[in-house]
Amino acid sequence: MRSSLRRLIKPVVARSMSTKRTKMSIGTHSGTFHCDEALGCYLLRKTSKFADASIIRSRDPVILADLPVVIDVGGVYDPASDRYDHHQRGFTEVFGHGFNTKLSSAGLVYKHYGRELVARAMDLPADHHSVETVYLAVYRGFMEAIDAIDNGVNQYDTNSPPKYISNTDLSARVSKLNPEWNQPTSETIENENFLKAVALTGSEFEAALHYYAKSWLPGRDFVVDALKKRKEVDSSGEILKLDDFCPWKGHLYDLETEMGIEGQVKYVLYHDEREDKWRIQAVSASPGSFESRKALPAAWRGLRGEELNKVVGVDGCVFCHASGFIGGNDTLEGVVEMAKKALSAIE
């Protein structure tokens, strides 16, 4: 294992090294490493331009100047020459597309090469609209946090101390791969640990890309289709029926904004295949909120079966949660009637 890792990092011979290289190499800094350059190296090695390149870790400007791509060191951001540092004075580059977090070296690499990686994973042209959708989703759901943490951006606008400590994010786990302060170390140990960080960040990136391309995007398509058909369920357009269950919450808020119907959908209906029942779920006021746009009527809450049937005036009712955020019925027809009655209920 160690010998295979070592082959990926070229030994750095100071100024006497050749000025001509026959093998592609990626340059990054030596010493303590972080999540952003580890992931940046992984991403670069997955591109067609730098496929399977070796990695040279050095802070020697003469050595770095000879390399075709350098990240997280050198004080230069210039995509035309494949220089991706973000530490220099005056650096303000962001991802764009509505994102305002300052980029780390990983974010810079993803900004310029991410579409290629997404397109290859999806087996689609880089200019395909689905590639663009996943490209942006991966940045929002995975990459932006790495940029923010590396640049010291607080997740919340507050001066209060955190209520708890979390050391399990990807950046924290990469940091732990550095040699401990009271343990023996060497350039060889640091380089081997850096390659472990490259592998770790790469596996997490691939998992995120797989999720957004293979699960998140198909779910989004289901929600788009349901939104287009919502008035077939009820003329109000406030009831959404999913023909297939999928994780819909994140998609709904985004798509409502895109379609100019923010806050319109009050209930989402879907089939629970495990119990072969239908569910009615109240849409929350905002992502992560426990408050619903229109909770199921108070008179229904906490009731089940026949008792609930009598109060609702619909057969086949299964339950209504005590908070009014979700309920159930044996049939699609029944759950649609529950949704219509809940819409008209005055609280």
For residues 273 and 253, the answer to whether their CB atoms sit within 8 Å is no
Per-residue pLDDT of the chain (347 residues; tens, 9 = 90+): 444 545 566 644 333 233 344 368 999 999 999 999 999 999 999 999 999 899 999 999 999 999 999 999 999 999 999 999 999 999 999 999 999 999 999 999 999 999 999 999 999 999 999 999 999 999 999 999 999 999 999 887 777 777 777 788 999 999 999 999 899 899 999 999 999 999 999 999 999 999 999 999 999 999 999 999 999 999 999 999 998 788 898 899 999 999 999 999 999 999 998 889 999 999 999 888 889 999 999 999 999 999 999 999 999 999 999 999 999 999 999 999 999 999 999 87
d(CA 147, CA 116): 20
Parse the chain into domains and list their residue ranges.
2-216, 234-344
Provide CB contacts within 8 A for 88, sequence distance 6+. Answer: 75, 76, 77
